[in-house]
Amino acid sequence: MSKAVIIDDEAQIRRLLRMVLEARGYEVSEAADGTAGLQEIAFHRPDVVLLDLGLPGLGGIEVLKRLREWSEVPVLILSVRDQEAVKVEALEHGADDYVTKPFGTAELLARLTVIQRRRFTRQNPHISSGPLTLDLLHHEATLHGETLKLTPIEFSLLKVLAEHAGRIITQSQIIRQIWPTQASDASEGLRVHISHLRRKLGPTGPRLINEPGIGYRLVEE
């Protein structure tokens, strides 16, 4: 059984989330503030965390910062704050996805499923995302079994996105990994390479979704 921790100061939201998650088979724990939330995570070792940003005392961003010092558990932000800068800040500090309140339960469950599918590749030289497979050892990519002709930068970019398929990766996170010695002015080059990748993946490959003002996510078809 998958385990979830809900950290939200609104009792009604916690009740709603508990109902939805328990109906899906989750074992649910909850907390009304950030400090108690971190304690719940440390004790229960959940498979996913649902985190509000506007918490009393220890705020959601600070919870993220402290959590990422010792855990890589997937975190879904649920917040009324819909400003791009707030979303980017949460993602930069380790959130896996961001859903704005009010939200639909179908979308919520779909986002949870996606972020829990994250593939870690430390022991695996291959990454798969739908019909797309990346061979990290030989720097080769195939789509439906056919080799994709990618430049080294395109391969590196696709690797970053495929490693976290379904998760929003901010522009600055991508730039730091692909062009570590360059500043944020690499954003125009990033857009060009994204455009080239979209063309090469075509209509039958995973989609590269632009989250305006935030970054990109690779979505399996």
Residues 41-58: tens digit of each pLDDT = 999 999 999 999 999 999
Residue 71's alpha-carbon distances to 38, 41, 109, in angstroms, are 10, 9, 22
Instruction: State the pLDDT at residue 214.
Output: 92
Q: At residue 172, what is the residue type?
A: S
pLDDT at 184: 52
The CB density around residue 100, as the number of other CB atoms within 10 Å, is: 14
Segment 31-37 shows an average pLDDT of 96
Is pLDDT of 190 > 50? yes
CATH number of 126-219: 1.10.10.10
Question: Is the backbone peptide bond immediately before 102 cis, with ω within 30 degrees of 0?
Answer: yes
pLDDT at 185: 66
CB 36 within 8 A of CB 49: no
Contact 51, 77 (CB under 8 A): yes
Which pTM was predicted? 0.72
- For residue 122, the model assigns a pLDDT of 43
Distance from CA of residue 115 to its chain's centroid? 6
| Tens digit of each residue's pLDDT (9 = 90 or more) over 133-184 | 999 878 899 999 999 999 999 999 999 999 888 888 999 889 888 886 665 5
d(CA 197, CA 191): 10
Looking at domain 3-115, its CATH superfamily turns out to be: Response regulator (3.40.50.2300)
Once rounded to an integer, what is the mean pLDDT over residues 18-40?
A: 96
Numbered ranges of CATH 1.10.10.10 in the chain: 126-219
- Which residue carries 């998958």 as its tokens? 2
- Please state, rounded to an integer, the average pLDDT across all residues of the chain: 90
Comparing 59 with 183, the larger pLDDT belongs to 59
106-144: burial string, b at 16+ Cβ within 10 Å, e else: eebeebbebbbeeeeeeeeeebebbbbbbeeeeeebebe
What average pLDDT does range 2-29 have in this prediction? 96
Nearest to 79 by CA among 60, 58, 107: 60
pLDDT in tens, 71-128: 889 999 999 998 999 999 999 999 999 999 988 999 999 999 888 876 444 446 788 8
CATH 3.40.50.2300 domain position(s) in the chain: 3-115
Distances (CA, A) of 147 to 126, 131, 132, 137: 14, 12, 10, 15
Q: What is the pLDDT of residue 123?
A: 46
Instruction: Tell me which long-range contacts 193-200 makes (C-beta under 8 A, separation of at least 24).
Output: 193/153, 193/154, 193/157, 194/157, 196/151, 196/154, 197/150, 197/154, 197/157, 197/158, 200/148, 200/149, 200/150, 200/154
Q: How many CB atoms lie within 10 A of CB 169?
A: 20
Find where tokens 């108690």 sit: 36
